[in-house]
A and B are shown apart, each in its own frame.
Chain A
C-alpha cells in the first residue's frame, strides 16, 4: 500500500493490484449479499454500493489509522475499504452476535471502534454534524486526525449539510466532506432537487476549498483525496470533494426504478470503475489476466469464509436486549 503521507498516487503494479482487489472485494461481497437477501439470510433494508466502489476505495486510501470515518447507510464499501473484517461485516448482515455490532445495527449501522468507523448513519444528512464533532474533539485533543465524512447528493438538500459545512469552515476543523453524487436521492433526480446541481461549487459559499472528480475512476479519486486530505491535515481547514458516480442497482431491495431509464444505466455501465481499471491494466500490461483470475479466486475464498463464519455465528441472547442502552462506562 502507498504511504498515506504522500500526496501523490504511485501507479506501480502492487498498488494498482491493491486498488482493484479492494473494489472487487466490495463488488463481490455485495453480489453475495444480494443473493443472501433473496434467500432471506439477510433482511431489513439493504442498500448496495454497486458502481460506486471507486469512491470509498480511493478516498480511504488517503487516510491514516488515526483518522475517523462517518458514513451513510450505504456503507459496505467504506467498511471493507477501511479494514473492517469481512467476517464480522457478513455476520452483522446476518444479525449474528459475531457481527461488528453484535447484529444490532445490520446493514445500515456498521460501527467499528478499532478503525474509528462512526456509522452507518441512516438519517440522510444526520452524519455530517457528527463528523464536525469528531473533528472538533480531535482538534481539541491535538490528534492531527482527519474525519472523512461520506454523504450522498440527497444530504445536500438537508439543512444539516449547510450547518455542518459552515461550522467546520468557521471553526477550521479537519473534515474532508465527500459527496457521493450518484444523481439520485432514492428516486429524486438531483436536477429536480437542487436549484444549483453543481454540488462541488457549494463549498465556495463556505470558503471551503474542494475538487470535483470522476467518481468512476479510482486513481483520480485517490489522487484528489490525497491532495485534499493533505490540505485538511496540514492547514486544518475542511475541504469538499464531490465524486460523480452512479449506482447500478436499485436504491434498496424495494425499488422498481421507475425514475430512470435503461439507456442511462447502459451509458454508466460502460464507465464501471472495475471494468475500466481492468481494461487499463490489460492495455498497459500492468496486470496479467491470470493475475486478475487469482484476485477473483482470493476474493471468492474470502467471501466463502465470511459466509461460513456468519452461518456458524450465534444469536445474541435476548436477555441482553437492554444491554448498552445505558452504558456503565466509556469503553476504552
Chain B
C-alpha cells in the first residue's frame, strides 16, 4: 500500500471511536492533510523517470506555494479553464479546494489548543481527503491535472 493510502487509513482509524481523545482527533485531522499532500507529491514525482531521485524531488515541495497554487486553481475567475472538459475541471477544483481546506484545518489541529475537536468535526476532513483521492484518480491523466502538479513544485518567475 502506498504511503498516502496508509495515512488516509490511519486518519480514519484514529476517529472511529466515540471516546477518541483530543490528541487522536487532532492527529487524525493532521494526518488527513498529509495523506493528500503525499498523494500529490507522489503523483508529481512519478513523472521523474530516474526512480532513485524521486524522494529528493519530493523534499522540494513547499506547503505555502502549494496553498497559493491551489487557491488559484480553486478560483474560476483566476483559472477559468475555458474549453476544458467540465467534469475534469470540477474534479481538479475539488482537489485544489480540498488541499487548501485540509491545510487550514491541519494548522488549527496542530497549533491551536483552544479549539476542541469532536468526532464529526475531525471526521469531515478525513471524508474530504477520501473524496479528493477518488477525484484525483478520475482526473489524473488530464493535461490540466498534470499542469497543476508541475505548478505545485515550481515557483513562478516574478
The answer to whether A and B assemble together is no
Query: Which residues in B have some Cβ–Cβ distance to A below 8 Å?
Result: none
